[in-house]
Amino acid sequence: MTLFALWLALVVGVPQVIGECTEDDDCTILPSELTCCGECEPAPPFVAVTRDVMDALLLEHETRCARSTRLCHPPTCEAPANGCSAEARCAAGRCVIEVMGCDKPVS
């Protein structure tokens, strides 16, 4: 999975499922924003990925940031609404998101 595909999943705003797993510990949730100056905690729309995908994304990101000469400004993070949380789980070999206490977007 490329950085662009993961970025597109976040921008589209639809919960995505990326990667294959065998147990819950294989899955994690992407940060809601990832910059060379920091990252934001996961927030809706949540995106579940395998830890291998997350590791590859972070390595690619770190490599790109190491080459950057731009000034650094930490991201402005939006916190999820009170009581809104998510957990990444493995279900039938896929990382899925279990969302609790979040309003469902109306489409």
Residue 93 pLDDT class (50, 70, 90 cuts): very high
**Whole-number pLDDT of residue 87:** 94
Specify burial of residue 42 (Cβ count, 10 A radius: 0-12, 13-18, 19+).
Answer: buried
CB 101 within 8 A of CB 85: yes
Judge whether residue 106 has pLDDT over 60. Answer: no
What is the average pLDDT value for the chain, to the nearest integer? Answer: 80
pTM, 2 dp: 0.71
Answer for the pair 40, 33: CB distance below 8 angstroms, yes or no: yes
- pLDDT at residue number 51: 93
Surface-to-core class of residue 62, CB atoms within 10 Å of its CB (0-12 exposed, 13-18 middle, 19+ buried): exposed
| pLDDT-derived band at 104, boundaries 50, 70, 90 | low
Cα-Cα-Cα-Cα torsion 92, 15, 73, 1, nearest 10 degrees, comes to 50
Q: Can you give the pLDDT at residue 69?
A: 82
pLDDT for the residue 90: 95
Say what the pLDDT of residue 22 is. 93
